[in-house]
């Protein structure tokens, strides 16, 4: 699955898509169709409804990126930068999407299939589930990923498999040229299976900039449960468009957390969840703490197709300096999805003079017996609380750190892995005390 394309990147994306040759593999037809869809729609512009507040073209033009599909490797030292103190876990290291087995420690056992996407196309779940989440084909950058991705991580847990420890998935992005990398993952949990996956990102210090356009497909089947944490430790030399497309079967539980930390200039998280069975539970929790001129766009879509499902979405943002954030919370409750509970909240602390948030709930409700709500707030530090803390000898910076941690607690309290909870709270404190 290797093909480096040496035509000017931005020109290829905008004018000459046909010159991009997709990897020749068993997915050729799917890839060609995706490329055609991409060619037809083109890159999103500010007129594209889902991209009104994020000028993706500006970021794509910023550097002369090259498509980089060649496997890269990294060192243990670099991978260790993602370490979470006190976390007892398996570790899987992916470099620009390519599995580096020498640094990985995979769970093994009956019914566990974990490996590179490129080596897993014959796995039973692959053909059944690959690129099946229907919202993927409507997103231009996801189509680009489908057409041209090189590799990623495939996980298939057969019925009743429960992974005993969290899987720490460390994404390393590295290249000596400005690179556009497109990892592609597919994780399938069959009936009653359960797992916890913690994603981290690492960017070795280097001159070149990596632009990731990654897609993760998540399939949580009947009564299965997935805790999915995406810790986006940032870097100046990174741009991140991250698409997670999930689908849930009956009685399943999917808990998705995203933590966006400084300093990645662009983060766009597309997250869509399709509920295909009833009695499901979905928790979407987000925390974005942005500094400098970071742009963080969380674009979420809860698609309620079936009755008696609960979804609970809570995104909290702390925006310093001139950071800019966008939150879109689309909830679609189909006519059959009676007794749906769908809640959504987006709360922000605007701490920089020029910090800004654009928040838009989009509720489309076609069933009559449902409970749906949404809310939005944007505020500053509570003066009374600040004074109270300072009057006890706590300095202004530490007081702010305490209050930001306090603000984040409805999200951080829900983290079910104590070491990760400590890690995130520690990160918040370190950022605020900086």
Partner 1 sequence: MLTIKNLHAEVEGKKILKGINLEINKGEMHAIMGPNGSGKSSLASVLAGRDNYTVTEGEVWFNGKNLLEMSPEDRAREGVFLAFQYPVEIPGVSNINFLKTAVNEVRTYKGLPPLEAKEFLKLTKEKQQLVDFNTNLMNRSLNEGFSGGEKKRNEIFQLAMLNPQLAILDETDSGLDIDALRIVSNGVNKLRDAEKSFVVITHYQRLLEYIVPDFVHVLYNGRIIKTGTKELALELEEKGYDWLKEAEHEKESV
Binding site for partner 1 (CB under 8 A): 382-385, 387-396, 398-399, 402-403, 405-410
For residue 406, the minimal CB distance to partner 1 (Å) is 3
Q: How far is the CB of 347 from partner 1 (least distance, A)?
A: 12
Q: Which is nearer to partner 1, 6 or 391 (CB)?
A: 391
Beta carbon nearer to partner 1, 165 or 390 = 390
Is 88 or 396 the residue whose CB approaches partner 1 more closely?
A: 396
- Walk across the sheet containing 281-290 and list its strands: 98-99, 90-95, 167-172, 194-202, 225-232, 253-260, 281-290, 310-319, 341-350, 371-379
Instruction: Report whether 309 contacts 337 (CB < 8 A).
Output: yes
Q: Alpha-carbon distance 73 to 99, whole Å? A: 9
Q: Considering the complex, state which of residue 127 and residue 427 has its C-beta at the smaller distance from partner 1.
A: 427
Q: How far is the CB of 422 from partner 1 (least distance, A)?
A: 12
| 262 close to 294: Cβ distance less than 8 angstroms | yes
**Tokens standing for residue 428:** 């918040």
> Smallest distance, Å, CB 321 to partner 1?
23
Phi, psi of 237 (to 5 degrees): -95, 30
> What gap in Å lies between CA 372 and CA 53, rounded to an integer?
25
Of 201 and 408, nearer to partner 1 (C-beta) is: 408
Q: Are 223 and 192 in contact (CB under 8 A)?
A: yes
Q: For 192-265, list the strands marked E by DSSP.
A: 194-202, 210-220, 225-232, 238-248, 253-260
Q: How far is the CB of 379 from partner 1 (least distance, A)?
A: 14
Please, what is the minimum distance in Å from the beta carbon of residue 380 to partner 1?
Answer: 14
Contact 149, 34 (CB under 8 A): no
Q: Which is nearer to partner 1, 110 or 392 (CB)?
A: 392
User: Phi-psi category of 148—alpha, beta or left, where left has phi over 0 and alpha has psi -120 to 50?
Assistant: alpha
Instruction: Please state, as a whole number, how many other Cβ atoms lie within 10 Å of the Cβ of residue 146.
Output: 25
Are 103 and 90 a contacting pair, CB within 8 Å?
no
Dihedrals phi, psi of 123, to nearest 5 degrees = -60, 145
End-to-end CA distance of the chain: 43
Residue with smaller CB distance to partner 1, 216 or 346: 346
Quick count: other Cβ atoms within 10 Å of Cβ 177?
Answer: 14
Residue 81 or 410: the one with the smaller Cβ distance to partner 1 is: 410
**161 vs 411, which CB is nearer to partner 1?**
411
Angle between helices 28-41 and 140-148 (to 10 degrees): 150
What are residue 274's DSSP bridge partners?
247, 303
> Cβ(305)–Cβ(336) under 8 Å?
yes
């Amino acid at each position: 699955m290797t093909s480096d394309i040496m035509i000017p990147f931005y020109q290829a994306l905008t004018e000459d898509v046909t010159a991009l040759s997709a990897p020749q593999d068993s997915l050729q037809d799917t890839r060609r169709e995706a490329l055609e869809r991409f060619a037809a729609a083109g890159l999103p512009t500010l007129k594209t409804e889902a991209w009104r507040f994020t000028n993706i073209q500006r970021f794509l033009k910023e550097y002369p990126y090259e498509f980089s599909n060649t496997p890269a490797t990294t060192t243990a030292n670099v991978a260790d930068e993602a370490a979470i103190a006190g976390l007892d876990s398996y570790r899987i290291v992916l470099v620009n999407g390519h599995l580096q087995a020498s640094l990985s420690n995979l769970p093994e056992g009956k019914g566990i299939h974990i490996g590179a996407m490129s080596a897993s196309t014959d796995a039973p779940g692959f053909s059944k589930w690959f690129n099946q989440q229907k919202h993927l084909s409507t997103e231009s950058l996801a189509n680009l990923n489908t057409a041209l991705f090189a590799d990623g991580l495939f996980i298939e847990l057969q019925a009743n498999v429960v992974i005993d420890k969290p899987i720490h998935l460390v994404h390393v992005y590295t290249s000596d040229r400005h690179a556009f990398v497109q990892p592609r993952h597919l994780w399938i949990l069959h009936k009653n299976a359960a797992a916890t996956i913690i994603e981290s990102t690492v960017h070795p210090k280097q001159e070149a900039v990596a632009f990731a356009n990654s897609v993760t497909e998540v399939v949580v089947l009947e009564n299965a449960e997935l805790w999915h944490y995406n810790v986006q430790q940032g870097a100046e030399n990174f741009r991140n468009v991250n698409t997670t497309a999930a689908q849930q079967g009956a009685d399943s539980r999917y808990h998705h957390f995203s933590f966006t930390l400084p300093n990645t200039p662009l983060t766009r998280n597309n997250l869509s969840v399709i509920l295909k069975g009833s009695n499901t539970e979905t928790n979407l929790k987000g925390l974005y703490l942005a500094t400098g001129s970071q742009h963080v766009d969380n674009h979420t879509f809860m698609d309620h197709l079936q009755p008696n499902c609960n979804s609970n979405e809570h995104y909290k943002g702390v925006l310093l300096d001139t950071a800019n954030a966008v939150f879109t919370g689309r909830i679609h409750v189909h006519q059959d999805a009676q007794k749906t509970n769908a809640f959504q909240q987006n709360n922000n602390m605007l701490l920089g003079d020029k910090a800004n948030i654009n928040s838009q709930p989009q509720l489309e409700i076609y069933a009559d017996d449902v409970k749906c709500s949404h809310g939005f707030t944007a505020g500053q530090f509570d003066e009374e609380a600040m004074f109270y803390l300072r009057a006890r000898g706590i300095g202004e910076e530490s007081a702010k750190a305490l209050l930001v941690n306090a603000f984040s607690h409805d999200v951080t309290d829900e983290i079910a892995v104590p070491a990760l909870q400590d890690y995130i709270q520690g990160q918040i404190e370190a950022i605020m005390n900086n």
